[in-house]
Amino acid sequence: MVPLRKLATFLILGMLVFPCLLGRAKVRSTAAQNSVPHAKSLFVQSAVQILEHEFKESGVSYLLFDARTEDLLSSRWEDAARPIPLGSLVKPFTALAYAEANEFQYPKHVCKGEESGCWQVHPHGELDIVSAIAVSCNSYFRALAEKLSGEKLSPTTRRFGLEAPDLGISGPGLMGLGDGWLISPLHMAHAYLELYRRRDQPGVRELLAGMARSAQQGTGAGVGRALRHTDALVKTGTALCTHLHSAPADGFVVALVPADQPEILLMIRVHGVAGAKASVTAGRMLSRMEE
Among 64, 133, 137, 249, binds Zn ion (CB under 5 A): 137
CA dist 260 and 133 (Å) reads: 18
Q: How far is the CB of 112 from Zn ion (least distance, A)?
A: 8
Among 91, 109, 124, 271, binds Zn ion (CB under 5 A): 124
Q: How far is the CB of 283 from Zn ion (least distance, A)?
A: 23
Cβ distance to Zn ion smaller for residue 113 or 178: 113
Q: How far is the CB of 49 from Zn ion (least distance, A)?
A: 39
Q: Return the HEC string of 149-167.
A: EHHHHHHHHHHCCCCCCCC
The answer to whether 214 contacts Zn ion (rule: CB under 5 A) is: no
Q: How far is the CB of 164 from Zn ion (least distance, A)?
A: 27
Q: How far is the CB of 199 from Zn ion (least distance, A)?
A: 26
**Residues contacting residue 174 through CB under 8 Å, at least 6 positions apart:** 90, 94, 145, 148, 149, 150, 153, 165, 181
The answer to whether 213 contacts Zn ion (rule: CB under 5 A) is: no
The answer to whether 211 contacts Zn ion (rule: CB under 5 A) is: no
| 70-109 binders of Zn ion (CB under 5 A) | none
The answer to whether 156 contacts Zn ion (rule: CB under 5 A) is: no
Nearest to 113 by CA among 126, 130, 127, 125: 125
Buried b (16+ CB within 10 A) or exposed e, 68-80: eeeeebebbbeeb
Nearest to 285 by CA among 133, 61, 96, 112: 61
Among 84, 118, 276, 278, binds Zn ion (CB under 5 A): 118
Q: How many residues bind Zn ion (CB under 5 A)?
A: 5
CA dist 52 and 59 (Å) reads: 15
Binding range to Zn ion, per CB under 5 A, among 60-68, 122-130, 147-155, 216-224: 122-130
The answer to whether 208 contacts Zn ion (rule: CB under 5 A) is: no
Please provide the size of the chain in residues: 291
The answer to whether 134 contacts Zn ion (rule: CB under 5 A) is: no
Cβ distance to Zn ion smaller for residue 238 or 281: 238
Cβ distance to Zn ion smaller for residue 118 or 232: 118
Examine residue 258 and say whether the peptide bond preceding it is cis (omega within 30 degrees of 0). Answer: yes
The answer to whether 279 contacts Zn ion (rule: CB under 5 A) is: no
Question: Which residue blocks in the chain are alpha helix, DSSP H?
Answer: 4-34, 42-54, 91-101, 129-135, 138-145, 150-159, 185-197, 204-217, 221-226, 275-290
- State the residues that interact with Zn ion by CB under 5 A: 111, 118, 124, 137, 139
